[in-house]
Amino acid sequence: MGRLLFFLILFLLILGCSPQKMIIRSTGGILDNSLKALYEENDLQLAKQAIASDLKLLDGLIKGDPENRHLLLLASQGYASYALAFVDEEQNPERAKNFYRRGQNYGLRILNQKKSFRQALGRDLELFRQALRDFSRKDVPALFWTANAWGNWINLSKTEPQALAELPKVTAIMQRVVELDEGFFYGGAHLFLGTVLASRSRLLGGDPEKAQYHFQRAIKLSKGRFLLTKVFYAKYYAVQVQNRKLFENLLKQVLQTPDNILPEQRLANAVAKRKAAVLLQKIDDLFL
């Protein structure tokens, strides 16, 4: 698959602009199927190699059709997913930040196609919120994956005041996703908001009660099948409120869940199980 698309890209570079874009756009469906198959994969090593190859292919295709919303969305989701799944954020935070930043930038290239958003991006929060009202339900995927990548980049840039200053806008995007389609990607916007509210103390704007609501809402929307929600619930909320029993119960639930509970997200759930096992090994360091 990777070699076929590689040679296709070389061929496209030889063609003129119009047929090049036409063929690139017809390739989007092939990449869709390729990525769907990867997200169904539970062999982490195989998935890691394949996704990296697909991401570079996407980079090449986007160069030939730079405003293609579909390809930009695949790249935004792909880079954010790759960083979360396969880059050790503790051992190599700069590499993870680089991938999240790429996902953010690809997503912003979609959102910036709307003039009101583009003009409000560098303005105050109130104007930014007003611009978000111009997006509808069909824009939810681009809103979600842009904010997902952007928020994860901020999470790894906590020592940088300028990065932290961007968090209110990212939060506003996810709040708009909740308004438009709270169930998108297994309640992913609720998972994001819960993580933001649980990862900070009250003095810094955290709110454990609201965080718990968002985590529980995400679990309900996914019917408990998207396991990363429980991992983040344990990692951020349970640790913040020092609830060791909840921490253990959530992570053990993840490890005991059948691999096929959500076939279309076997990869994400395999990643969740790996992260759950690592967190359980650190339990004595996380709780007083």
Token reading at 59? 């980079």
Interatomic CA distance for residues 57 and 53, integer angstroms = 6
pLDDT in tens, 84-100: 999 988 889 999 999 99
Residue ranges in 89-183 assigned as alpha helix (H): 93-111, 115-120, 125-132, 140-155, 161-164, 167-181
**Closest by alpha carbon to 88, among 251, 274, 283?**
274
Q: What is the mean pLDDT of residues 215-219?
A: 99
pLDDT in tens, 91-142: 899 999 999 999 999 999 999 999 999 999 999 999 999 999 999 999 999 9
- Per-residue pLDDT band for 149 (boundaries 50, 70, 90) equals very high
Token reading at 21? 């874009």
Residue with tokens 């906590």: 158
**Is residue 55 within 8 Å of residue 77, measured between CB atoms?**
no
pLDDT in tens, 190-211: 999 999 999 988 888 899 999 9
CATH class of this structure's domain 182-288: mainly alpha
DSSP string over 175-195? HHHHHHHTTHHHHHHHHHHHH
**Is residue 172 within 8 Å of residue 125, measured between CB atoms?**
yes
Residue ranges in the chain assigned as alpha helix (H): 2-14, 17-39, 44-64, 69-86, 93-111, 115-120, 125-132, 140-155, 161-164, 167-181, 184-198, 208-221, 228-232, 239-240, 244-256, 266-281, 283-286
Residue with tokens 């940088």: 160
**If you ran DSSP here, which 8-state letter would residue 139 be given?**
G
**If you ran DSSP here, which 8-state letter would residue 226 be given?**
-
